[in-house]
Structure 1
Amino acid sequence: MSDPETIRIYDERAADYAGMTDAYNTTDPRLTAFIAACPAAGRVLDLGCGPGAAAAKMAEAGLKVEAVDASAAMVEMAAKHPGVSARQATFDEITGTATYDGIWANFSLLHAPRADFPRHLAALHHAIKPGGVFLIGLKLGKGEARDRIGRLYTYYTEDELMDHLRKAGFTPGDIRHGSGEGLDGSTAPWISVIAHG
């Protein structure tokens, strides 16, 4: 994420966001499946970690967690969780080769401009170990738009997402659909895909 307005909103609304999402994030069945798919004591990246609830759950399960977010306020909250190493970084700052056993990108890459999405996926595929588990969650739809409070979103159809994942080198696997209320009060459909590097 590099959109200044989106980052500013997350900085200002970090506590509100945590209050809205922490309870669900700690009991998310997708997170349970992700953790189970990672090797014991594996190294994982929580990309766009937000307040760090998911990262904390990964750490509790014995994983070595690196949590990154472009929002300084979110990083500050995430760093307070035991076992979570958190730092401020944008999607462009993710580097490394075969570094991670798993990458959790749950509703983070939807803030990347469409033109940058293939490059970010390619970098993540480069950073994940062969066969590593990759979870991505996005909102379904078309185009780019700002939500009611000004955050930048890029929407994808399921077919578009599958195409992007395969072109980046990932093998898509388990797919789930749902809908949920966002920080702006609107409800939107989403897709979550567990893929492998």
Structure 2
Amino acid sequence: MSDAETVSVYNTRADSYNELVSRDTPDQDLQAFLDAVAPGGHVMDLGCGPGNSAAMMRDAGLSVDAVDASSGMVRVAREKYGIDARLATFDDITGTDLYDGVWANFSLLHATKADMPRHLAAIKAALKPGGVFHIGTKLGSDEMRDSIGRMYSYYEADELLGLLKDAGFAPRAPRFGRDKGLSGEMADFIVVLSDA
């Protein structure tokens, strides 16, 4: 189940979030994902936000299923980028062998730790053999709200890699960094591309 307060924050700040995260060319993580997905492949942008990444995937020749729990984000994705995004939560991930790739860039960190294994299992099932999964999350060990009310689950690197392996993924080398988010707070993060 989506956290209502987190969704409300994204609904009211969708336009400013778009200004914060949107770019004209893929960053290194999106480029690695694009390079790993089969040409012309079908991908899911899980927690697509304002749709900028989905637009770059589309422009790279991929078929994109863009979903987000925030109606504000879905609106921006449609109006700003022409992405046919739809409202959906992590619990709506169903099906088997549907996608060549799933992109969950700093979205699944809003799921509870208790729910993460279930979500990862659903993503693994939805990926075709040979598919890839990208996840980005913040580093830490707690579950808490940030200064603007969004709920976060933080993961240590070994914890996240263990969850991915337990779900049947083969994680590649993680990338670590530090950046400022919508709240204005600096945070350490980890991104991992895994083979299904």
TM-score range (shorter-chain normalised) is: over 0.9
State the alpha-carbon separation in 2 of the partners of residues 72 and 22 from structure 1.
Answer: 18
What does residue 8 of structure 2 align with?
8
Extract unaligned runs of 5+ from structure 2.
Answer: none
Name the aligned partner's letter for residue 99 of structure 2: Y
Q: Does 1:46 align with 2:45?
A: yes
State the alpha-carbon separation in 2 of the partners of residues 175 and 21 from structure 1.
Answer: 21
SS at match of 1:96: coil
SS at match of 2:155: coil
Q: Does 1:179 align with 2:178?
A: yes
Q: Does 1:109 align with 2:108?
A: yes
Name the aligned partner's letter for residue 38 of structure 1: V
What does residue 78 of structure 2 align with?
79
Q: Identity, % of aligned pairs? A: 54
Let me know the Cα RMSD of the aligned residues.
1.1
State the alpha-carbon separation in 2 of the partners of residues 104 and 174 from structure 1.
Answer: 17
What does residue 196 of structure 1 align with?
195
What does residue 122 of structure 2 align with?
123
Deviations 1:24-49 (A, max 9, x none): 8x431110110111111100000000
SS at match of 1:114: coil
State the alpha-carbon separation in 2 of the partners of residues 115 and 178 from structure 1.
Answer: 25
Deviations 1:123-169 (A, max 9, x none): 00000011201100000001100000000000000000011001111
State the alpha-carbon separation in 2 of the partners of residues 186 and 170 from structure 1.
Answer: 31
Cα displacement (A) at 1:54: 0.3
State the alpha-carbon separation in 2 of the partners of residues 95 and 32 from structure 1.
Answer: 26
Q: TM-score, normalised by structure 2?
A: 0.97
Name the aligned partner's letter for residue 187 of structure 1: M
State the alpha-carbon separation in 1 of the partners of residues 51 and 155 from structure 2.
Answer: 25
State the alpha-carbon separation in 2 of the partners of residues 190 and 23 from structure 1.
Answer: 19
Extract unaligned runs of 5+ from structure 1.
Answer: none
